[in-house]
Amino acid sequence: MQTATLRPPAGEAPATVAPLAVALDDIAISFAIPGRPVFKAVAPTSLHVKEGEFVAIVGPTGCGKSTLLNATAGLLKPAGGRVTIFGEPLAGLNAKAGYLFQQDALMPWKTALDNVAIALEIGGVRRADALAQAQDWLRRVGLARFVDRYPHELSGGQRKRVGLAQVLVRGPKILLMDEPFGPLDAQTRQIMGTLLLNLWAQDRKAVLFVTHDLEEAIALSDRVVIMSAGPEARIIGDFPIDLARPRDTADIRLDPRFHELYREIWNQLKAEVVKTYGEDAP
Amino acid sequence: MKFHPGKLLFLQVLVAVVAIGAWQLGATVPIGGTYLLPEFFFSTPLDVAKRVVQLFVSGTIWKHLWITLTETVLAFVIGSAGGVAIGFWFARKPILAAVFDPYVKMVNALPRVVLAPIFMLWLGLGIWSKVALGVSLVFFIVFFNVYQGVKEVSPVVLANARMMGMSEHQLFRNVYWPSALSWMFSSLHTSVGFALVGAVVGEYLGSSAGLGYLIHQAEGVFDVTGVFAGMFILAAFVLVIDWGVTRVENRLLVWRPQSAGEQA
C-alpha cells in the first residue's frame, strides 16, 4: 500500500473512518438469577457491522445469538463492553434499529394495515399519510389483498410479511432479525428470504440476521459469523460470502460456489459445532 | 358430533313438551289417590302461562322490568369502570398490588349477600342499595380480569412496541388498554350475570319494585303461580340480556380467533 505514509496516527484512526453501523466491543452478557451463580451467557466478544452490510450470526440454539441482538437493540444491558451505533454509544433503546422478532409480535387487536400504520403514527405522522404508506408497504411485501385481515386470519408467513412491513415502514438504518423465518416451513422460508433480499437491495441497510441454519445464512448474507454454544458463548469464525448479488435464495443453493463456501465453513467448524451440538444430543 | 339443525330443534322442543306435560299431569291427575305435584306447592303450567300473559297484558310487569334493568345496567357500568381503573392501577404499580393483596382477597372471599343489609342501611330501599350489591359483585370479576390482562401482555408484543418507539402513554393506548379490555370482555357474560344477580337479590331482600320484589311478594302470600311466573319472566329476561351481550362481544372482539371467542 503506497498510502501507508499518509495513514493518520493510530489513536485517531476510528474518528476519520466512516463510522460502523454497529460496533459491539468486548460485549459480555450475564443473567443473575437469585439463589444461583451468575449465568454468563456471552463471553467478552466483539462484532462489527459496516453500513450496508448483511451479517448472519449462526450458532446452536440457546448460544446467546439473540442476547447479542437484544444488546444491539438496547433491550438488554450488557454486563461489560461497549455498544456503538454509527459512532455513538448506545443509551436506552436503539432508535436507529428495526427489530423483527422470532415470535409473533403483531398487535392481535389491530388489522394488518393498522399494525403497520401505528409504527408511523406514534412518530407523529398524520393518520391518512400513515395509512397510505402502510398500504404501500403491505403491497411491497405482497399483501395488498390482506390489509384488512387481523393477525389470526393470516398464515404464519403472511404474519411475518406484516412484521417486515411494520419494521421497514419506519425506515430504520439497521435491521435486526432474530430467526425471523424460524417457525415457517422450508418453502416459505426461501420465499421470505428472497423477498427480504429484494427489499434490502433497494436501500442496503446494515442487517444482523440471527439463524441456526447455515444454508440460510450463506444464501442471504455478505458475512457469516459463527458462535459457539453457551454458556460463555463467543464468536469462533467469521467468513466473507462472495456470492454474486442479486441472489435467489432457492437457486443460489444449486450454485457450485455455494457448496464450496458451505464445505469451507463447515470443515473449519465441524469439530466445534459437533462438540457443542453434541452436548445437547441425547 | 354434528346434528341436523332441524332434528336438534325438534329434540330441544321435545324436552320442554315432556317436562311441561309431566308437570301438568302431576299437578292435575291424581295417581293412586294422590297428586305427585300438589297444585298448592307447584301450581300448573297452564296457570303460570296465564299469569305471565296477564302480567304483560295489564302492563304491570313493565315497571318492574325497567327497574331491574336500570339496576343491572348501573351496577355493571359502575362496577366495570371501577374494576378497570383499579385493575390497571394495581397492575402498573406492583407495590400497591402487594400491599392491598390480602385485603382484596378478604373482601372477595366474603359472600356478597351479607353486604345487602349494610347497603340497605346506608342507601335506603331505593335502587341504589341494589346497584351497590351488584357493583360489589361485578367489580371483583372485572378487577381480576383486567389485572391479569395487563400483567399478561405478551412480552414480545411489548418489546416490539417499545422498539417501534412507543412512549409509556402510547403503550397504554395501543397495547395495555386493548389487552385489558379483551380480558374484560371475555368475562362480559359473567359480569352482566352477576350485575343481574345483585339487582334481583337486593330486590328480594327489601324493595318496592323490580322482578325480585315481584317474586318476593308472591311468595309472601303463598302465590306459587306468581313465583313461577316471576321466575320464567326473569329467565327470559336473562336470555335476552345475554343475547345482547353476545352481539356486543362479537362486534368488539372481531380480532379474536373464533375458538377463543367460544371459550369465553
Cα gap B200→B230, rounded to integer Å? 11
Could you give the C-alpha distances from A56 to A84, A217, A219, B191, in angstroms and in order? Answer: 19, 5, 10, 51
Residues B121 and B24 in one domain: no
**Nearest-by-CA chain A residue for B171:** A122
Q: Residue A23: beta bridge partners?
A: A48, A84
Q: Which residues of B175-184 are buried (b: 16+ CB within 10 A; e: fewer)?
A: bbbbbbbbbb
pLDDT category, A127, cuts 50, 70, 90? very high
Structural domain for B19, as ranges: 1-42
- DSSP-derived secondary structure for A160-202: HHHHHHHHHTT--SEEEEESTTTTS-HHHHHHHHHHHHHHHHH
Which region, left, alpha or beta, applies to residue A118 given φ > 0 means left and ψ of -120 to 50 means alpha?
alpha
Residues B10 and B76 in one domain: no
What mean pLDDT is predicted for residues A128-138?
A: 94
pLDDT category, B189, cuts 50, 70, 90? confident
Which cell numbers hold the place of B132? 351497590
pLDDT category, B159, cuts 50, 70, 90? very high
User: According to the model, what pLDDT value does residue A207 have?
Assistant: 94
Within 8 A of B154 by CB-CB distance, chain A residues are 103, 105
User: According to the model, what pLDDT value does residue A275 have?
Assistant: 63
pLDDT category, B258, cuts 50, 70, 90? low
For chain A, give the percent of residues with pLDDT over 90: 44
With a CB-CB cutoff of 8 Å, which residues 42-81 of chain A face chain B? Answer: 73, 75
Q: Is B178 in Cβ contact with A170 (below 8 Å)?
A: no
Residues B154 and B217 in one domain: yes
User: Is residue A166 less than 8 Å (CB to CB) from chain B?
Assistant: yes
- Whole-complex ipTM: 0.83
Distance from CA of B163 to the nearest CA of A (A): 7
Whether A6 has a pLDDT exceeding 80, the answer reads no
Residues B32 and B130 in one domain: no
What mean pLDDT is predicted for residues A135-155?
A: 92
Distance from CA of A110 to the nearest CA of B (A): 7
Query: pLDDT tens, B198-248?
Result: 999 999 988 889 999 999 999 999 999 999 999 999 999 989 988 988 888
Q: Residue A54: beta bridge partners?
A: A207
User: Is residue B250 less than 8 Å (CB to CB) from chain A?
Assistant: no
Q: Is B257 in Cβ contact with A101 (below 8 Å)?
A: no
Within 8 A of A73 by CB-CB distance, chain B residues are 163
User: According to the model, what pLDDT value does residue B29 have?
Assistant: 86
| Interface probe with A: pick from B163, B174, B175, most Cβ of A within 10 Å | B163
Residues B80 and B205 in one domain: yes
Whether B80 has a pLDDT exceeding 50, the answer reads yes
Cα gap B141→B125, rounded to integer Å? 26
| Interface probe with A: pick from B153, B162, B164, most Cβ of A within 10 Å | B164
Residue A45 in contact with residue A38, Cβ under 8 Å? no
Within 8 A of B256 by CB-CB distance, chain A residues are 108, 152
The ranges assigned to domains in chain A are 19-96+181-277, 103-171
User: What average pLDDT does chain A have?
Assistant: 85
User: According to the model, what pLDDT value does residue A278 have?
Assistant: 59
Query: pLDDT tens, B5-15?
Result: 889 999 999 99
Q: Residues near A123 by Cβ (< 8 Å), separated by ≥ 6?
A: A170, B165
Residues B145 and B190 in one domain: yes
User: According to the model, what pLDDT value does residue B33 have?
Assistant: 81
Q: Residues B90, B94, B99, B105: is their CA dihedral positive or negative?
A: positive
pTM over 0.80: no
Within 8 A of A95 by CB-CB distance, chain B residues are 165
Query: pLDDT tens, B162-188?
Result: 999 899 899 998 999 888 888 888 788
The four Cα atoms A133, A135, A136, A138 give a dihedral, to 10 degrees, of 120
Cα gap B80→B191, rounded to integer Å? 8
Residues B115 and B173 in one domain: yes
CA angle A3, A8, A10 (to 5 degrees): 120
Start-to-end CA distance of chain B, whole Å, equals 21
Q: Is A119 in Cβ contact with B163 (below 8 Å)?
A: no
- Selecting from A103, A122, A170 the residue whose C-beta is nearest the C-beta of B156 gives A103
Query: pLDDT tens, A82-125?
Result: 999 998 888 889 889 999 998 889 999 999 999 999 999 998 89
Q: Residues near A88 by Cβ (< 8 Å), separated by ≥ 6?
A: none
The four Cα atoms A150, A151, A152, A153 give a dihedral, to 10 degrees, of 60
User: Is residue B9 less than 8 Å (CB to CB) from chain A?
Assistant: no
With a CB-CB cutoff of 8 Å, which residues 165-184 of chain B face chain A? Answer: 165-167, 170, 174-175, 178-179, 182
User: According to the model, what pLDDT value does residue B2 have?
Assistant: 66
Cα gap A24→A32, rounded to integer Å? 22
- Selecting from B156, B165, B175 the residue whose C-beta is nearest the C-beta of A123 gives B165
Residues B176 and B232 in one domain: yes
Which cell numbers hold the place of B82? 371501577
User: Is residue B94 less than 8 Å (CB to CB) from chain A?
Assistant: no
Q: Residues near B116 by Cβ (< 8 Å), separated by ≥ 6?
A: B129, B133, B201, B202, B205, B206
User: CATH code for A19-96+181-277?
Assistant: 3.40.50.300
Look up cell 440471527; give the residue.
A210
Q: Could you tell me the CATH number of the domain that includes residue B111?
A: 1.10.3720.10
User: According to the model, what pLDDT value does residue A282 have?
Assistant: 45
Within 8 A of A150 by CB-CB distance, chain B residues are 254-255
Whether A267 has a pLDDT exceeding 80, the answer reads no
Whether B148 has a pLDDT exceeding 70, the answer reads yes
What mean pLDDT is predicted for residues A139-165?
A: 92
Residues B133 and B188 in one domain: yes
Domain count, chain B: 2
Query: pLDDT tens, B84-136?
Result: 999 999 988 889 999 999 999 999 899 888 888 899 999 988 899 999 999 99
Q: Residues A244, A245, A246, A251: is their CA dihedral positive or negative?
A: positive
For chain B, give the percent of residues with pLDDT over 90: 54
Residues B139 and B222 in one domain: yes
What mean pLDDT is predicted for residues A124-150?
A: 93
Better pLDDT: A188 or A9: A188
User: Is residue A155 less than 8 Å (CB to CB) from chain B?
Assistant: no
- Selecting from A95, A105, A111 the residue whose C-beta is nearest the C-beta of B160 gives A105
User: Is residue B252 less than 8 Å (CB to CB) from chain A?
Assistant: no
User: According to the model, what pLDDT value does residue A76 have?
Assistant: 87
| Interface probe with A: pick from B167, B185, B255, most Cβ of A within 10 Å | B255
Query: pLDDT tens, B41-56?
Result: 888 899 999 999 999 9
Residues B47 and B149 in one domain: yes
Residue B199 in contact with residue B75, Cβ under 8 Å? yes
Distance from CA of A64 to the nearest CA of B (A): 17
Q: Residues B146, B242, A150, B262: is their CA dihedral positive or negative?
A: positive
Could you give the C-alpha distances from B58 to A105, A277, B54, B62, B66, in angstroms and in order? Answer: 59, 82, 6, 9, 15
Within 8 A of A108 by CB-CB distance, chain B residues are 157, 255-256
Residues B223 and B129 in one domain: yes
Within 8 A of A75 by CB-CB distance, chain B residues are 159, 162-163
- Selecting from A122, A152, A166 the residue whose C-beta is nearest the C-beta of B165 gives A122
User: According to the model, what pLDDT value does residue B264 have?
Assistant: 36
Within 8 A of B167 by CB-CB distance, chain A residues are 122
